[in-house]
Chain A
């Protein structure tokens, strides 16, 4: 039996992903980013347990432009993963599969992500 090239569908290179599919892969990417980000959580807690010097070093790094950039990226990823994750939980119980529901959920997730991220950083700046 000769292996024949069989058609694949939907083929990722020619298929324009709908927004809900882009958000699905973004959910995975942000999850991976957050998992790597847990190293920062361990470093922060570790610094707090070792010595004032270690704590100051971690705080100094987090307060640098690179630290803020990482924290900003982390906050966006966290809020997206949180909001889209709640939508996945609705899917898990069989709700929200109709196209209008899915489109509405897209909007809710994206707007919530932006609003929560903005609110968080406004709170940081206001302190």
Chain B
């Protein structure tokens, strides 16, 4: 058993070079989501009460398909990074924390892929 403190053991090794990754990605996705979320709200308002055919015609426009795919990628990544911090801050039991983080990340990935497939299917196959 090492008698050295955790700090003593890592001192002098340099950083892991990924310390700011989480912070930076959260900020990058946040910046991307400023215009994307405004576009999304304007779109949803313009689509309020739209029928199936109107929705299909709208989502199949290349610009809308592109922005929706980007929104999906940014929203679910930004959301997963955010919820990760909340879980890390408030779940104190290590096992529960690990399991909840895994479940949350998998759920975010599942919803993101499902949403993207739903958009692309309508765009390319007409639904």
Contact = CB atoms under 8 A, between A and B. Distances in A.
Interface stretch (A11-19, A85-93, A96-104): A85-93
Chain B interface, >50% SS class: helix
Query: What bracket does the count of chain A residues touching chain B fall in?
Result: 20 to 34
User: What does DSSP make chain A's interface, helix, strand, loop or mixed?
Assistant: helix
Contacts of B68: 45
A94 interface: no
Contacts of A89: 27, 30-31
Contact of A35 (B82, B117, B119): B82
B111 A48 contact: no
3 A-B pairs closest in CB distance:
A49-B118, A35-B79, A45-B118
Interface of B: 27, 30-31, 33-34, 37-38, 41, 45-46, 48-49, 51-52, 55-56, 59, 68, 72, 75-76, 79-80, 82-83, 86, 108, 111, 114-115, 117-119, 121-122, 127
